[in-house]
Amino acid sequence: MGTGKGRRARKKRRQRLKQSSAGALSLCHENQFVELRKWLHERGFQCNSLIPAQFSDTGRGLMTTQFIQAGDVLIALPERCLLTTATVLKSYLGEYIRRWKPAISPLLALCVFLISERHLGRVSQWKPYIDILPRSYTCPLYFSDEVVGLLPKILRKKVLSQRNMVFELHTCSQDFFKSLQTLFSHSVEDIFTCDALRWAWCSVNSRTVYMEHQQSPDLSTDPDTYAMAPYLDLLNHSPDVQVKAGFNQVTQCYEIQSMQGCKRFQQTFICYGPHDSQRLLLEYGFVAPNNPHRVVYVDPDILQQYFSEVDKQFAQKILFLKERGFLTNLTFGPDGPSWKLMTVLRLLSLKPEQYAFWKPVLLGATVSPDTEEQSLVVAWLLCHHFKQENTEARDKLSLMKFDWLHGSG
């Protein structure tokens, strides 16, 4: 048996890391990660138990090189490695931000810094980090109109409003961008483009960790809770892992502690929150298989087609439900229709003479076998409708994908 110290043992270990049991390919030796780790090391970060790797199912992430016990700190990133609004205010942008009235938001400050550092390229002090940020994102902000048109109505509305928000932010920030012109030899119009802001916004939105900061008088009163955490932000999401995360005032590090532990040569995950699939797609650009929080949202507008023709009280019932907050978040989950959805369907199934039951139904009363049956039938029809809508959208997407791949799209 070898001692594990010879050349052969080292070669074997490298091979094992390159092609781990999880089917992952180590990215440790890629130049951009060598540079990033060197840069982080200079700032006091040491982490040998997690290395960057490419996974067949989730893409780039972090893999363990040793067994992690439950309760172990997975990663501890010193404050000097974090990119927060304090970093931005201390930088060459600080005096421009302080001078600007009305004060810009913490989010815009981070976005401007990212865009500016990306533009600085080789002379950027944050180059090793900027280099590992994705060049574009799979979030719906990057979807074409055609693809957005295939999304379920509720999600489509959210995507369009997100798009609008980023567009508005870009439009409203034009004068501030112009105020930065003296910092650049290129025109700021060509640097702070809408596309650049979309990239920076997605970088902040999908990669920051939650960290409360003292509100700066130089920024607007929007919550300042973002921290970009290089390397740590390579951790992918899994809905079933439990971690404790936060800034440790004693060690002055942002730490993630594993609650369940992790085997050697496995991908390490964290949980971004109990998000349903729409939220994951909207904010992070992916959906997790077997997500226990997955739901299908029911747009209340659709209910009309299952009731209104026969029910003269339909509009009144809808108003009654709306006023009591029963028309938001109607969902089908892994276990079927939610209690709220069934309550709505029950109420809409009541006959005109059952007016006295409107309030008891909202409190959970079942009225008659007929009402129960009618509401279950509608639930089934709704389910069928969503399945069909989903299949049609997927078929159209497959066709579009085929066209793109074969150059006719």
Contacting positions for ligand SAM (CB under 6 A): 58-61, 134, 138, 206-207, 233-238, 284-286, 288
Least Å distance, CB 342 to ligand SAM, is 31
Q: Which is nearer to ligand SAM, 270 or 350 (by Cβ)?
A: 270
Hey, how many other C-beta atoms are within 10 angstroms of the C-beta on 108? 25
| φ, ψ of residue 212 in degrees (nearest 5) | -80, 140
Q: Scanning the structure block, which residue is given the tokens 């029963």?
A: 326
* 328 CA to centre of own chain: 22
Q: Which is nearer to ligand SAM, 256 or 348 (by Cβ)?
A: 256
Least Å distance, CB 2 to ligand SAM, is 35
Q: Which is nearer to ligand SAM, 29 or 387 (by Cβ)?
A: 29
Compute the half-sphere exposure of residue 225: CA atoms within 13 Å on the CB side of its CA: 5
Least Å distance, CB 288 to ligand SAM, is 5
Torsion angle in degrees (nearest 10) through CA of 279, 82, 89, 197: -40
Least Å distance, CB 127 to ligand SAM, is 16
Least Å distance, CB 391 to ligand SAM, is 23
Q: Which is nearer to ligand SAM, 275 or 346 (by Cβ)?
A: 275
DSSP-based three-state secondary structure for 50: strand
Q: Which is nearer to ligand SAM, 113 or 272 (by Cβ)?
A: 272
Q: Which is nearer to ligand SAM, 85 or 208 (by Cβ)?
A: 208
Q: Which is nearer to ligand SAM, 57 or 392 (by Cβ)?
A: 57
d(C-alpha 292, C-alpha 276), whole Å: 8
- What is the b/e burial string over 172-208, where b = at least 16 CB atoms within 10 angstroms of the residue's CB? ebeebbeebeeeeeeebeebbeeebbbbbbbbbbbbb
Please name every residue paired with 92 in a beta bridge, in sequence order, or none if there are none.
none
Non-local (6+) Cβ contacts of 108 within 8 A are: 169, 173, 176
Least Å distance, CB 59 to ligand SAM, is 5
Q: Scanning the structure block, which residue is given the tokens 């421009």?
A: 96
d(C-alpha 138, C-alpha 11), whole Å: 36
* Joined tokens for residue 71: 């309760």
Least Å distance, CB 259 to ligand SAM, is 18
Q: Which is nearer to ligand SAM, 59 or 274 (by Cβ)?
A: 59
78 cis-preceded (ω within 30 degrees of 0) = no
Least Å distance, CB 236 to ligand SAM, is 3
